[in-house]
Amino acid sequence: MQTAIITGASSGIGREFAVRLDERYRFDEIWLIARREERLKELSDVLNAKTKIISIDLSKSEELEKLRETIRREKPDIKFLVNAAGFGKFGTVKSQTAADIEDMINVNIRALTAVTHMCLNYIQDGGGIINMASISAYTPLPSLNIYSASKAYVLHFSEALGEELKDRNIRVTAVCPYWVASEFISVAKQTAQSEAVDNFKFITYPYPVVSRAIYDNGCGKMLSLAGALPHILKGLAYIAPSKVQMSVWNRIRKLHTLNINNLLQTIPNN
Ligand SMILES: NC(=O)c1ccc[n+]([C@@H]2O[C@H](COP(=O)([O-])OP(=O)(O)OC[C@H]3O[C@@H](n4cnc5c(N)ncnc54)[C@H](OP(=O)(O)O)[C@@H]3O)[C@@H](O)[C@H]2O)c1
């Protein structure tokens, strides 16, 4: 039984992974994980493979334990694990609610690590793990602080995990996109300082990011950067001191360069 397990499958990048992996490989089963069951059911209807819908809140330890139990019981033969569940909130640390801070750390760091750990015994030798990091992993970002720090964790975790799993030929790829048009931005704006970040120029779409990530993982690349901009930003992060990077970010982050609400309305299910 060839299985793919995808977290964050109810929208955006995770959903795109489900569609593209289903198109490309013959899975016996695809496990779709997120909170919104209806969305997962709708996705299931358009996939060729049989699916298992797992509607859980990954920020909650007890729900992660339920997933661990399911994996232990079913012993899936995992060909791909995609950790796409994650979110960010705009605004300074002081302006955030304690619950948002905790949830961001729980979903972006704790759940991603736990889901990876619980799958490790069941991933086939030669299988793939794709973790959604972000280009923000390379730069400390005021007003997107906890999110960018959480993605720095994902990047480091993925790179070191890839080394640890080399002897089993398991390819681990961290995906680091720039802005992607998805519900991510609507969720990130649900804060007291919703306009703290308002510059989404050069935004891309899930398809190029996901296609590139699947290709890069197939080539055994540790890092997947779709398009020129993430390459440029990564290069700048290496040569410019953090202080300079943050000062540039602070100058540009509020520039209202395009009507993001109009653009987001064009995304299905948003
Ligand atoms: N969009 C961007 O600009 C961008 C850029 C770089 C990196 N990324 C990263 O890419 C990944 C996918 O983001 P996206 O753009 O596709 O955003 P999205 O459309 O908002 O998708 C986020 C997914 O995470 C799931 N999720 C969030 N909280 C959860 C929880 N507590 N329990 C279970 N599932 C949860 C959501 O499902 P439910 O709401 O149904 O639970 C949804 O399926 C994230 O890790 C994000 O940080 C995004």
Side-chain-facing half-sphere of 58: CA atoms under 13 Å: 28
**pLDDT over threshold 70, residue 269:** no
Specify the residue with its C-alpha closest to ligand 1, atom 46.
Answer: 86
Question: Which one of 180, 190, 225, 263 would you pick to mutate in the ligand 1 pocket, going by the greatest count of ligand atoms within 8 A of its CB?
Answer: 180
User: pTM for the full model?
Assistant: 0.97
Give the pLDDT confidence score for residue 48 in this predicted structure: 97
Long-range contacts of 234-239 (CB under 8 A, 24+ apart): 234/135, 234/138, 234/176, 237/138, 237/139, 238/138
**Mean pLDDT across the chain:** 96
Average pLDDT of the residues in 216-232: 97
Determine whether the shortest distance from the Cβ of 78 to ligand 1 is under 6 A: no
Query: Band of the pLDDT at 65, cuts 50, 70, 90?
Result: very high
**pLDDT over threshold 80, residue 257:** no
Listed by start position, the domains of the chain span 2-265
Query: Band of the pLDDT at 66, cuts 50, 70, 90?
Result: very high
Give the pLDDT confidence score for residue 266 in this predicted structure: 78
Cα separation, 73 vs 71, whole angstroms: 5
Query: Band of the pLDDT at 232, cuts 50, 70, 90?
Result: very high
Helix, strand, or coil here: 112?
A: helix
Query: Band of the pLDDT at 256, cuts 50, 70, 90?
Result: confident
| Cα 168 to averaged position of ligand 1 atoms, centre (Å) | 29
Average pLDDT of the residues in 260-268: 77
Average pLDDT of the residues in 172-189: 97
Helix 112-119 / helix 145-164 crossing angle, nearest 10 deg = 20
Residues in the chain, overall count:
270
Helix, strand, or coil here: 53?
A: strand
Average pLDDT of the residues in 190-210: 94
- Token pair, residue 162, equals 């890839």
Cα separation, 270 vs 267, whole angstroms: 6
Was domain 2-265 assigned CATH 3.40.50.720? yes
Query: Band of the pLDDT at 268, cuts 50, 70, 90?
Result: low
Helix 112-119 / helix 61-74 crossing angle, nearest 10 deg = 20
Instruction: Quickly count: other Cβ atoms within 10 Å of residue 98's Cβ.
Output: 7
Specify the residue with its C-alpha closest to ligand 1, atom 8.
Answer: 134
Determine whether the shortest distance from the Cβ of 107 to ligand 1 is under 6 A: yes
- The distance of Cα 34 from the centroid of its chain, to the nearest Å, equals 12
In sequence order, the 6+-apart residues with CB closer than 8 A to the CB of 226 are: 177, 204, 208, 209, 211, 212, 213
Give the pLDDT confidence score for residue 263 in this predicted structure: 79
Give the pLDDT confidence score for residue 199 in this predicted structure: 92
- Token pair, residue 152, equals 């720095």
**pLDDT over threshold 80, residue 67:** yes
Q: pLDDT tens-digit profile of 110-153?
A: 999 999 999 999 999 999 999 999 999 999 999 999 999 999 99
Give the pLDDT confidence score for residue 259 in this predicted structure: 79
**pLDDT over threshold 80, residue 267:** no
Query: Band of the pLDDT at 64, cuts 50, 70, 90?
Result: very high
